[in-house]
Amino acid sequence: MSNLWLTVEVAPGAGIERTCDDAVALAARTGLSIWFNFNGVKCLAREGDDPRRIEEAWGIALKRPPGHGRIASDNGLNRRRRRPR
């Protein structure tokens, strides 16, 4: 895992599903963690993450008031993260 990460901008009008797919694919290509802001929720995508779990965590975080843990990631749902062996 790298000590670097990449913060990307999301195009206006983009959907969360495609954005999560693209972020996980970019993480796989670069080996970097990818951060992006989507409707006020800071999202994290890493190589091997499930884009649907990021999307689900985003939906949960979106319901929280601003400034109260509005971060979404694959492991943000308190589930065990599956790592390839």
pLDDT in tens, 6-43: 999 999 999 999 999 999 999 999 999 999 999 999 99
For residues 70-80, average pLDDT: 72
Token pair, residue 55, equals 């999307």
What is this structure's pTM?
A: 0.84
d(CA 44, CA 81): 14
pLDDT of residue 67: 76
Listed in order, strand segments (DSSP E) in 1-85 are 5-8, 33-38, 41-45, 71-72
pLDDT in tens, 54-64: 999 999 999 99
The angle at the Cα of 66, spanning 65 to 68, to the nearest 5 degrees, equals: 70
